[in-house]
Structure 1
Amino acid sequence: MDQNPPGIRRRLLLASAAGAGGAAALGLHGTARAAGPEAEALAGTAAASPAGPVVVTPANQQYPDLVRALNARYVAKPESVRVVDAPDQVAPIVAEAARAGKRLTIRSGGHCLEDFVYSPQTQLVLDLSKMNGVYYNSRLNAVAVEAGARLLDVYEKLYATWGVTIPGGICYSVGIGGHVSGGGWGMLVRRDGLVVDHLYAVEVVIVAADGTVATVIATREADDPHRELWWAHTGGGGGNFGVVTRYYFRSPGASGTDPRNLLPKPPGEVLFSAVSWSWSDLTKEEFVRLVRNYASWHVANIGADSPTRFLTSFLLLNHRSNGQIGMVTQVDAAAPDARGMLDAYLAHMSGGIGTEPGALTEQMGDMGAMPQFAAPRRLPWLQATRFAGTTNPLLNDPTLRAEYKSAYMRADFPPRQAEALYKHLTRTDIDNPKINIQLTPYGGRTHKVRETDTALPHRGAAFKMLWSVLWNEPAEDAKYLAWTRESYEETYADTGGVPVPNAVTDGCYINYPDADLGDPLRNRSGVSWATLYYKGNYRRLQQVKAKYDPGNFFRHRQSVELPAP
């Protein structure tokens, strides 16, 4: 059972019981408040004096910078952007939008890969990116992270202050708000699981059917009446149930009240390796062998207690015009025989391939060139994390346009799938070194959790895939959208153009949203986008939606739908 300071379980029960009295007990009509025990927990540790909320309209100079996504395909024209820097500023803005019937969307870090935040329907953007505190909350005995905090800032604060971390993503500038709610993962995924596997509680601003707005804290305690709201935020996706203002992290089984013991300690040092294979030297047969080598290793080493769970590796399949296929690998240097584990993995990846790996000298998707790591080097963990997360200048390119697709894989590639990848990555009608299909790890500790224990159900996956197609000119949109769709749909042609859950594939990742999954012209499988993202957990998510957002106030193109009457 989770360890809590004296009295906290009783306070949580009292706070939850308030919800049983109906909308009036959750807040004041047309206003927002948090009262009693919840207000105590909200207080937490005081942050710096807030400057917000700030209202930015088209009349303000900064407006154009605040209405565009990282993906330049998506630019909105809201009536205003509300920039907040403290959690208690959120509920009044939500109440205002609810009273006026305004379409509100929420930005934490600005990395949403579809138009869920910046769409033509958006009337008010709630920008949480300056609400970024990280501190210990004694009342919940957990580390609080405000929803606008960026991942690298979180890692640096957690590690410098308490010597701990959460196993989140790689890219430094991802906002934690959407990352966690979608079931985020990163370099420590096989060693420590998903970030949601360490989520103790979530603080959410919700809207009742009559427009009442309230702030609710939901925990993973078995007897918390709001536990389902916590569960929905362990992979149910952002923008579905309310505005997350804070996440509270404490690992299951952690004891005591010292923050240094509440979350995983990352590796003190890692072995970091970056190699590449030259496209000019690879035959089709060698390419197929390379991708199947990656798949077979991850399938064979999927176990939660596998001694290889300390190794994480990314295979970066670039279009032939890049010149190279790359692979970045990290191993916890304290793992038993860490160097032997790395050497055995690199040997496995080269098995059956005559082309020798060399230095990684080209930019590849989210990774920059890393020629200095052709031979593995030992680095302090935070140095390696900072390096891996900040090597990509594309993250600051204001002209970047992109399309993304995803797939979870449970088994080795059938030869036809691997051959489809080769066909499209060697097409000569495309010349773009920024086209990239990434194979990324799962298994290990992610495999320890049952499919229904979190909203993210893909616990049987051995690895996953990301189609990342990047370009800069609007005139090329049609060309690159077509390449992405054609390559993806041919890879999964046997199942209607998408990776339906079966013995080989396991659906799609909600944090790489793909609007095409809802288009019957693109998804011909007969399996809905909701099943691809959530599998059998979707009906449960719909029940949470009905309870906490019965008016469907929080919505976008692929938001959780209310259950049928």
Structure 2
Amino acid sequence: MEKSSFLAPGISLFLLLLLFNVSASVAAPTAESVYTPFLQCLRNYTSEQVSNIVFAQTNSSFSSVLQAYIRNARFNTTSTPKPLLVVTPTREPHVQGAVICAKNINIQLKIRSGGHDYEGISYISDQPFIILDMFHFRNITVDVRNEVAVVQAGATLGEVYYRIWEKSKVLGFPAGVCPTVGVGGHLSGGGYGNMLRKHGLSVDHVVDAKIVDVKGWIFDKEGMGEDLFWAIRGGGGASYGVILSYTVKLVAVPEVVTVFRVMKSLDQNENVTELVLQWQQVAPHTDDRLFMRLLLQPVSSKVVKGQRTIRATVMALFLGGAGEVVTLLEKEFPLLGLSKDNCTEMSWIDSMLWWGNFDNTTKPDALLERDLNSASFLKRKSDYVQKPISKDGLEEIWEKMVELGKTGFVFNPYGGKMSEVASDATPFPHRLGNLFKIQYSVNWDEPGVDVENNFTSQARELYSYMTPFVSNSPRSAFLNYRDLDIGTNSFGKNSYEEGRVYGVKYFNDNFERLVKIKTAVDPENFFRNEQSIPIHPGHDSTGASNSGAAKLLHFSLCWKLTVKVGWLLFLKFIT
């Protein structure tokens, strides 16, 4: 009896400690605990050596692989959460295996194609995670006869433009002006560029796709069905699976296009306010071959030393000759004062170099350069304008911009093709009724929490100030301009209520259909991030790593293991 009385508390303490340790290991996996089982699983699935595509934190190449495609220096600090592993697949079975193995060990999978996600959610998380980096998936096949291209998700826009140009001088593709943006994220979020008024969004030209689903299966458009195909053309592919490639329809471009840049400054007696008023009347309604982006920036005055002023810059692409666009704008936009001296005629491929800020002597193969490890510090936000901003409103905005110091605007005009496509044709809803989209933009060079807080707070304050001038109910936002300020979803909760906060802003009335599709294709919410599509509130998300059901299952398994080990030790001790 005395012996039994002595053993019971000891065994109880042992069981509690063992339970704590096992539970902790389940709740907080480490790089060491994840690497071996993941690698073994991936090796078994692919039946090949895969250690050369899986980088643990102890690998000497881990940091260079991780940092290569970090495009926002805010998320490249020592305090930034790091993945336990970076997986760099080179073949489709590697992607399938990565999904299956990450799901088997119950760890979050982040998917990165180019790293331009403004909030870095393709490569950071506050939960233990693995990055599936698609940068090896960069093959592009151009079929000139049928005017289509099959583009893998890890290719960059610059590579797409170059490969099209190699095969044809009169075909192009309507997508972004930054050549290092990855195709996977750009197209799955909507994608737009300087031909959107003529040809609409990038996703308006997607005719097929390949995706790896939560079970590791590969589907094309026919196999995945119309609903999922609809969702991954503007609804964010990373909520539903891993995009392998998109097949896109190419568009005709003229042999000669025209670009121009005209600047006006408020402090040089150039009526910037009247210019912007007229731009609002012209840019969304003019010839749909003309895209006139308007940049508004607070800058140092050249007239009064030590003071700030507002500079307006109109950057444009016209799908035609200089004489035609000058004649057009002399009539429609006289305050711009455009002349042939402001214009440069060139080929479409050279215009993409011009928009990418390359000099006029640059050869097209510069578009193949990926500019690794070239991140700056930045913050972006977005809005939509549906009614012209008045003169008084603009003058108030100038004062606020000068007061804040550095945050500027980019106004991107809509109209043309954007007004002809139905708001539910794709998940991207911001079509007819929107005059232009605003991008709030601030960059800085110095690291540090205080510096970052200063500039990000500037952007947020200007965004708040703009409330009376932009869309409301909802106040809409653009998914490709990722902004965590407008709402996030807590990990493990799969909160429909939290997801709806940002979901309705990004997708308006299309959000509910996306939730329905998400619930059908990924009912356990494996593919998730801070702003992913949640599953339907009536569905039990047993697969979320921190859900109540998952925690109960982990506790049950741990308790069974603890009792079994404790009982064996007890039997060994008494015998």
- Please classify the TM superposition score into its range, dividing by the shorter chain length: 0.7 to 0.9
Q: Which residue of 2 aligns with 1:185?
A: 192
On the 8 A contact 2:199/2:417 being kept in 1, the answer is yes
Following the alignment from structure 2 to structure 1, what is the Cα–Cα distance between the partners of residues 179 and 58? 32
Larger proportion of helix: 2
Following TM superposition, by how much is the alpha carbon of 1:342 offset from its aligned partner in structure 2, in angstroms? 4.3
Following TM superposition, by how much is the alpha carbon of 1:452 offset from its aligned partner in structure 2, in angstroms? 0.8
On the 8 A contact 1:145/1:247 being kept in 2, the answer is yes
Following the alignment from structure 1 to structure 2, what is the Cα–Cα distance between the partners of residues 204 and 32? 21
Following the alignment from structure 2 to structure 1, what is the Cα–Cα distance between the partners of residues 301 and 268? 13
Following TM superposition, by how much is the alpha carbon of 1:322 offset from its aligned partner in structure 2, in angstroms? 7.7
On the 8 A contact 1:95/1:213 being kept in 2, the answer is yes
SS of the equivalent of 2:165 reads: helix
On the 8 A contact 1:108/1:129 being kept in 2, the answer is yes
Deviations 1:45-71 (A, max 9, x none): xxxxx9996112222333223334211
Q: Gaps (5+ residues) in structure 1?
A: 1-29, 35-49, 251-262, 302-307, 351-356, 359-372, 521-525
Change (3 A) 1:383 1:399: closer
Matching of residue 426 in structure 1 with residue 431 in structure 2 = no
Change (3 A) 1:293 1:338: closer
Give the counterpart of 2:416 among 419, 431, 444.
Answer: 444
Matching of residue 288 in structure 1 with residue 273 in structure 2 = yes
* Structure (1 or 2) with the larger CA radius of gyration: 2
Change (3 A) 1:325 1:562: same
Deviations 1:216-243 (A, max 9, x none): 1125xxxx76111110012112421111
SS of the equivalent of 1:327 reads: strand
Following the alignment from structure 1 to structure 2, what is the Cα–Cα distance between the partners of residues 466 and 58? 36
Change (3 A) 1:419 1:344: same
AA paired with 2:291?
T
On the 8 A contact 2:259/2:315 being kept in 1, the answer is yes
Following the alignment from structure 1 to structure 2, what is the Cα–Cα distance between the partners of residues 315 and 33? 54
AA paired with 2:244?
T
SS of the equivalent of 1:239 reads: helix
Give the counterpart of 2:382 among 406, 426, 429.
Answer: 406
Q: Which residue of 2 aligns with 1:218?
A: 221
Q: Which residue of 1 aligns with 2:350?
A: 383
Give the counterpart of 1:94 among 61, 77, 99.
Answer: 99
On the 8 A contact 1:420/1:487 being kept in 2, the answer is no
On the 8 A contact 2:114/2:181 being kept in 1, the answer is yes
TM-score scaled by length of structure 1: 0.74
On the 8 A contact 2:210/2:219 being kept in 1, the answer is yes
SS of the equivalent of 2:73 reads: coil
On the 8 A contact 1:150/1:173 being kept in 2, the answer is yes
Matching of residue 125 in structure 1 with residue 101 in structure 2 = no
After TM superposition, list the pairs within 5 Å mapping 1:126-141 onto structure 2. Answer: 126-136=132-142
Matching of residue 154 in structure 1 with residue 160 in structure 2 = yes
Following the alignment from structure 1 to structure 2, what is the Cα–Cα distance between the partners of residues 388 and 375? 15
Change (3 A) 1:177 1:399: closer
Change (3 A) 1:203 1:380: same
Deviations 1:26-61 (A, max 9, x none): xxxx99999xxxxxxxxxxxxxxx999611222233
Q: Which residue of 2 aligns with 1:511?
A: 480
AA paired with 1:74?
F
SS of the equivalent of 2:486 reads: helix
On the 8 A contact 1:271/1:376 being kept in 2, the answer is yes
AA paired with 1:347?
P
SS of the equivalent of 1:67 reads: helix
Deviations 1:368-402 (A, max 9, x none): xxxxx962111111111122124499977746211
On the 8 A contact 1:402/1:471 being kept in 2, the answer is yes
Q: Which residue of 2 aligns with 1:329?
A: 316
Deviations 1:390-427 (A, max 9, x none): 44999777462111100122221145642443122212
SS of the equivalent of 2:239 reads: coil
Give the counterpart of 1:265 among 252, 258, 270.
Answer: 252
Deviations 1:321-357 (A, max 9, x none): 386331111111169934422444552546xxxxxx8
On the 8 A contact 1:189/1:446 being kept in 2, the answer is yes
Following the alignment from structure 1 to structure 2, what is the Cα–Cα distance between the partners of residues 149 and 233? 17
On the 8 A contact 1:81/1:125 being kept in 2, the answer is yes
TM-score scaled by length of structure 2: 0.73
Following the alignment from structure 2 to structure 1, what is the Cα–Cα distance between the partners of residues 526 and 399? 44
Matching of residue 453 in structure 1 with residue 429 in structure 2 = no
On the 8 A contact 2:256/2:346 being kept in 1, the answer is yes
Deviations 1:98-119 (A, max 9, x none): 1111111011011000131222
Change (3 A) 1:345 1:87: farther
After TM superposition, list the pairs within 5 Å mapping 1:204-283 onto structure 2. Answer: 204-207=211-214, 212-218=215-221, 226-250=225-249, 263-282=250-269
Following TM superposition, by how much is the alpha carbon of 1:480 offset from its aligned partner in structure 2, in angstroms? 0.8
